Structure 1
């Protein structure tokens, strides 16, 4: 009788090839187990198995907590949290716990700027230097005659120095306007100046939004935070603020190792670009206001031309204050927040009226956000 050919189940354990295959078995089994990882759901607060899976993923990512707000048919239909503040008292997160919003702040700033243009009947393409007094965007001989406009600043096409502010540790001196714009001590950022041709250069610049805030203060005579509160936040019944005074205890920020930041979080004097403290439900209300404005029933923005500009691609993938992507299914609005110890994301479908805001208090929160957004889109049939 002839012998059977060697195969995976009839191997000579002494052969080099057979030993290699035997070593691969546990790897294959591990990969198979990973591929069968339980899916997250959009409402772990209602499903214990799903909650356990999310808690495990938070632990693996070293992210203490996550907070979520879901919009469906232009209504806030769900708010839930998982995890804790990660302070010495072990307090649980709630739907009103504020997080650092990072770049999501810029969506709210854009609404305040457009509200002023609407009120004062100022063109979107107004040269910013014409409305600035003590400080102006420095001239650059390479692009002389190319004015930086309000539109350029809002759409990240100003050509200003690409900047991402890192905030200040507890106890560190914080700069005033003069130091921040000129890049002098105690500012920890470079001077605000042209690094590219206005209207032609595409790069995200948090400094552009600080220039907008300075311009807005020059124009309105109001403190930036006060203007934003009076024209955007209060009319929309949003308790979010640029300082923690009067707000619930915040979610404390954590680095990539899962360790709490010294002092709990960084302090941002750069309020227009990075400084808002908000919950996901606060920012969901901002997103719903934008959806309402597009339908002509907004409370803050009522000028149809400005609303159309805000929600139209201006180049570089940006609208005014957020990313705007035109697809066959409609217009997708999005923004991502990144500050030390925090990650967040806002996504909305303009025409269908759905969206989600996810905020985490950990540097490795992106992977959690990806999973939750995917679960929400699947469960709500988006």
Structure 2
């Protein structure tokens, strides 16, 4: 008995030690993430930034993170305020608008219907539409649109996204949205080109899938998604209800614009639920990511079978990167499924590796997608998420003399409706892309410059006649411009 007691005590001590180590290690990693933010383009020797400082820089009141490792949520944390005026703090329960991330969950709901043999993903959508029929015309060239086309944005359908509605204003039915009838604030859904020709992002196509789900199930969309997707995944704090039910109101973050002002009405209402209607938080979205990773590996069938999960994350018709409800990023040897989300006042993004069970979710209540990118990079670096962390470090040199920079100034034609203006003002060198703010150019060579927030490089070269030409490098692609002024 004494020997058994000693053995039990030893095991208990070991477990306590390991638990304490894991907790301390997690705390250390959280601190590293919080103090490890950096711009997409780093300058050699530059120190990393603190998350609260970057939130202040981007005028972002609140932010929430969830980190996934080895198929489990290792930590989640909120920062700042869900409502800056009332100083309501962001917690792990605070709900944000997920925007287009809704499309990923919508695809799970549709694939569930396909598993149940209630829909053929490759049949004409008009077979399943009862309340409305797609108005095929000459633009579709006799080809039929399928549900797989809708989910992969290959249906040739118009309308990229939706603007939402102020709380308290009249809301259209989905049929009114599809027909472009008041009070809908978007044009009618129709063909823009023949289906299957090429991928082109279409929220309009996703709304058709929403109507099909309702017509097939006979349920309201939010109710179906709650029962078929959110509840099985354990996403108990999430909802597709529009507007959110009263039970959620106290958890909702207020949206803010890029200068830090609250948007009118706090948030927008989206009857276009499948495209942009999800309210959730990183903790719940982590459950979705993990659930899909386990399904993909054949380790869980909470919502989808392995066959369906693999179909969802296989690029459609060999269209690189575009699958059914998610984008597939092939980063060196590692594949991630991902989707960003953006509505007025909110930004979000998730990543989940298709192997190994790693991932990250970031949501914030401001218009700055760049901050979310910085957080993802910091998490990927701290946790050594293979290939998700890709540093781009530049060695900056002193700015060339003013008389040299003056020869580079002018306007350059980048595309038929795209002009770059190069400026030298008050000792600083700038580029302004048509319709956008000016951005400072930093020198890495006397004739070569880069931006801090975009992966663009600009190189100036003199012709034999002394005139200066400009070449733009965007994501490694060389784009020749023509001086117009």
State the TM-score bracket (shorter-chain normalisation). Answer: 0.7 to 0.9
- Distance in 2 between residues matched to 1:308 and 1:104, nearest whole Å: 19
Match of 2:254 in 1: 252
Provide the TM-score with structure 1 as the length reference: 0.85
Residues 167, 44 of structure 1: alpha-carbon distance in 2 compared, 3 angstrom cutoff: farther
> Is 1:66 aligned with 2:63?
yes
Match of 1:368 in 2: 371
SS across alignment from 1:283: helix
Q: CA deviation at 1:263?
A: 1.1
Match of 1:160 in 2: 157
The farther-off stretch of 316-325 and 151-160 is 316-325
> Is 1:377 aligned with 2:375?
no
Given candidates 139, 142, 146, the residue that maps to 1:145 is: 142
Given candidates 349, 357, 361, the residue that maps to 2:361 is: 357
CA contact (8 A) 1:42 1:375 kept: no
Given candidates 196, 202, 205, the residue that maps to 1:205 is: 202
SS across alignment from 1:265: coil
- Distance in 2 between residues matched to 1:346 and 1:173, nearest whole Å: 32
Deviation string, structure 1 residues 171-223 (Cα, Å, up to 9, x no partner): 32111122111001110111000101111132111111111010011111111
Match of 1:290 in 2: 292
SS across alignment from 1:120: coil
- Distance in 1 between residues matched to 2:220 and 2:301, nearest whole Å: 22
Residues 49, 295 of structure 1: alpha-carbon distance in 2 compared, 3 angstrom cutoff: closer
CA contact (8 A) 2:108 2:304 kept: no
Residues 45, 266 of structure 1: alpha-carbon distance in 2 compared, 3 angstrom cutoff: farther
Residues 371, 150 of structure 1: alpha-carbon distance in 2 compared, 3 angstrom cutoff: same
Given candidates 325, 339, 347, the residue that maps to 1:321 is: 325
CA contact (8 A) 1:114 1:301 kept: no
- Distance in 1 between residues matched to 2:35 and 2:331, nearest whole Å: 36
Q: CA deviation at 1:303?
A: 3.5
- Distance in 2 between residues matched to 1:49 and 1:157, nearest whole Å: 39
- Distance in 2 between residues matched to 1:229 and 1:80, nearest whole Å: 25
Structure 2, unmatched stretches of 5+, are: 1-27, 38-47, 386-485
Match of 2:234 in 1: 237
- Distance in 2 between residues matched to 1:342 and 1:48, nearest whole Å: 23
- Distance in 2 between residues matched to 1:341 and 1:94, nearest whole Å: 18
Greater relative contact order (Cα < 8 A, sep 6+) = 1
Deviation string, structure 1 residues 85-131 (Cα, Å, up to 9, x no partner): 12432110000100000001111110000001101263321211111
Match of 1:17 in 2: none
Match of 2:277 in 1: 275
Q: CA deviation at 1:319?
A: 0.8
Structure 1, unmatched stretches of 5+, are: 1-40
Name the Cα RMSD after superposition: 2.1
